[in-house]
């Protein structure tokens, strides 16, 4: 059952252009919550919402929405100036524009914390005659997000725009309509396996092993989960090696990457990697080193799907260096070259680039030749 927070509600937004990042964005555009009429679920939600506001001392009932449309500039873009407007052609099928959508705010976070059931948010909006929609992942209750400014975003997603063949860099006023719904996740009479494995990890139930981050932090875990995902660990646990005797394995991972790794091994969670280029690279290398086939495939797909803007230059140089030397990583090597080309002007100031030319001149020359290539 869907619960409408707003339905076909007009909105107004001031879009701001940024020629440096090649993006057009609207920040903190506010939608007032008004449950749709003549809808049993929404009407009940409306009355519950009123009580919730009063009991929690909330004075506002607004959702914050942010759109950011971006396109990485390349040396081959042909710019067109039309008065104060700057635009360039887009091959939407080969390289579509990316639209990032964020939804959140203190009110929505507080409301969601009051739910006992798992929910999703679905956002439909229409602008300039075109319709878009995004659906959040299942939201964990209570929602726990890092703060941005004075509030957090409950979720964000990115979608490709395959219908825009020209990208305008111009600040402008825009209008549209929006619908926001809460969706109850499908319930099952059987136990939620993900919830069980999450509890096993985070409550450290009968842990019999540990992974140690390079800063010395120890993360308790289970031999069985490591064995299921990694042939390296499976072979290790069949020996009388030091790690087995001490029930701990040192790694070169940061503490954050160790935690992200265990989240994936226990309940297929990649949220940390999705938000952090450095963690994603650590997980990719670890998956290859420890023969974790499922994680390796997942990380390759994640990195190949990301827009060029998402990558950090130093990280993508390390990705290129790694991908160049691993069989079957041709697609990731190509992705790294594409990203580096889009950030070519920043190479001179990059510590990773300087280090690459000093310690691995062969790889540096390969990168130079690929970046000079027009292919």
Three-state secondary structure string covering 3-41: EEEEEEEEEEEEEEEECCCCEEEEEEEEEECCCCCCCHH
pLDDT of amino acid 27: 58
Identify the weakest region by mean pLDDT among 49-53, 231-235, 252-256: 49-53
Q: What is the percentage of the chain residues whose pLDDT exceeds 90? A: 27
Taking the C-alpha atoms of residue 72 and residue 331, their distance in angstroms, rounded to an integer, is 19
Cα–Cα dist 371/16, whole Å: 32
Residue 140 pLDDT exceeds 50: no
Residue 232's pLDDT is 96
CATH of domain 189-272: 3.30.710.10
Element holding 295 (H helix, E strand): helix 293-305
Task: Give the residue with greater pLDDT, 309 vs 165.
Answer: 309
pLDDT band, very low/low/confident/very high, at 168 (cuts 50, 70, 90)? confident
pLDDT of residue 145: 41
Contact 367, 337 (CB under 8 A): yes
Q: Decide: residue 199, CB within 10 A, 0-12 exposed, 13-18 middle, 19+ buried.
A: middle
Assign residue 372 a region: left if phi > 0, alpha if psi is -120 to 50, beta otherwise? Answer: alpha
Which pLDDT tens digit goes with each residue over 261-296? 999 999 999 989 999 999 999 999 999 999 999 999
Cα dihedral 319/324/327/333 (nearest 10): 60
Burial label for 71, CB within 10 Å (0-12, 13-18, 19+), is: buried
DSSP state of 312: -
Residue 1 has pLDDT above 70, yes or no: no
- Tokens 């081959």 — which residue? 76
Other C-beta atoms within 10 Å of 173: how many?
A: 9
pLDDT 10s digits, 326-369: 988 988 988 988 888 888 777 778 887 878 888 888 887 877 77
Predicted TM-score of the model (pTM)? 0.53
Lowest mean pLDDT among 49-63, 150-164, 345-359: 49-63
Amino acid 142: pLDDT: 38
């Amino acid at each position: 059952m869907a619960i409408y927070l707003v339905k076909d509600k007009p909105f107004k937004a001031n879009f701001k252009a940024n020629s440096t990042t090649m993006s057009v964005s609207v920040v903190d555009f506010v939608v007032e919550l008004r449950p749709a009429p003549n809808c049993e679920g929404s009407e009940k939600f409306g009355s519950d919402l009123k009580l919730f506001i009063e009991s929690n001392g909330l004075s506002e009932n607004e959702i914050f929405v942010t759109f950011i449309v971006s396109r990485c500039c390349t040396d081959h873009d042909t710019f067109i100036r039309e008065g104060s407007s700057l635009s360039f052609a887009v091959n939407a099928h080969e390289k579509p524009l990316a639209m990032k959508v964020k939804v959140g705010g203190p009110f929505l976070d507080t409301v969601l914390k009051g739910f006992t059931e798992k929910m999703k948010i679905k956002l439909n909006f229409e602008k300039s005659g075109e319709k878009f929609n995004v659906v959040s992942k299942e939201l964990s209750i209570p929602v726990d997000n890092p703060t941005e400014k004075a509030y957090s975003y409950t979720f964000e997603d990115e979608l490709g725009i395959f219908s825009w063949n020209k990208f305008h860099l111009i600040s402008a006023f825009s209008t549209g309509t929006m619908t926001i719904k809460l969706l109850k996740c499908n319930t099952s009479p059987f136990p939620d396996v993900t919830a069980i494995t999450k509890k096993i990890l985070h409550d450290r139930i009968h842990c019999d092993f540990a992974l140690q981050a390079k800063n010395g932090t120890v993360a308790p875990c289970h031999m069985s989960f490591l064995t299921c995902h990694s042939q390296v660990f499976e072979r290790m646990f069949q020996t009388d090696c030091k790690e087995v005797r001490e029930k701990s394995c040192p790694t070169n991972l940061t503490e954050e990457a160790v935690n992200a790794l265990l989240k994936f091994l226990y309940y297929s969670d990649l949220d940390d990697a999705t938000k952090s280029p450095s963690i994603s690279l650590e997980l990719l290398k670890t998956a290859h080193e420890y023969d974790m086939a499922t994680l390796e495939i997942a990380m390759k797909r994640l990195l190949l799907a990301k827009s060029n803007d998402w990558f950090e230059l130093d990280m993508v140089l390390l990705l290129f260096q790694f991908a160049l030397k691993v069989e079957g990583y041709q697609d990731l090597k190509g992705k790294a070259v594409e990203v580096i080309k889009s950030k070519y002007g920043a190479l001179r100031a990059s510590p990773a680039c300087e280090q690459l030319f000093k310690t691995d001149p062969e790889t540096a020359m390969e990168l130079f030749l690929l970046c000079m290539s027009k292919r």
